[in-house]
Amino acid sequence: MNYSNMTDVLECSELNAGNGIPPVVIESLKKFNEALTSLEDALEPHLHLTFEEHLERPALEMAQIDIMTLFTLNSLSWSLLAMHGKDPKENQQLSDELRRTKEYVSRLKSIERRKQAPHVNQSAAKV
């Protein structure tokens, strides 16, 4: 059998009939597949650029993409641990990485706020 995607596999009556997979597990797998598809769709615009094109982006945009990449990897790591039956909250390395990513997000938001804040026109202020 040739399946084009995970949804085809999950919906295949041959696999679901009599194999003992509870419907709740199949539903969870469908939701997980939908989340991964959504993730792929969100990342696609950023993944088609060459590295040289990426380096030509403004620094703030590069920082946003780097943080998005960190968050994506952390989320996938969380999912992997959960799929292996481990509690991701108990993984110290992942917890540290998530904390660090949150700090980066906070710093980036601070930079964005400063950039949007009103500025004093120095030459007009001297008059």
Domains of the chain, residue spans: 59-116
Instruction: Determine the pLDDT at residue 88.
Output: 92
DSSP the chain: ---SSHHHHHH-HHHHTTS---HHHHHHHHHHHHHHHHHHHHHHHHHSS-HHHHHTS-HHHHHHHHHHHHHHHHHHHHHHHHHTT--GGG-HHHHHHHHHHHHHHHHHHHHHHHHHS----HHHHT-
Q: Which tokens belong to 74?
A: 């952390």
- Residues 43-48 have a mean pLDDT of 82
Asked whether the CA dihedral 46, 52, 57, 62 is positive or negative, the reply is positive
62-72 residue pLDDT tens: 999 889 889 88
Instruction: Determine the pLDDT at residue 117.
Output: 81
Alpha carbon distance 52, 48 (integer Å): 12
**pTM of the predicted protein model:** 0.63
68-109 residue pLDDT tens: 889 889 988 998 898 888 999 999 999 999 999 999 999 999
Closest among 43, 45, 39, 47 to 79, alpha carbons compared: 39
Instruction: Determine the pLDDT at residue 121.
Output: 76
Name the least confident of 1-10, 32-41, 92-101.
1-10
Instruction: Determine the pLDDT at residue 8.
Output: 59
Closest among 26, 60, 66, 32 to 46, alpha carbons compared: 66
Percent of the chain with pLDDT over 90: 31
Instruction: Determine the pLDDT at residue 100.
Output: 95
Instruction: Determine the pLDDT at residue 12.
Output: 58
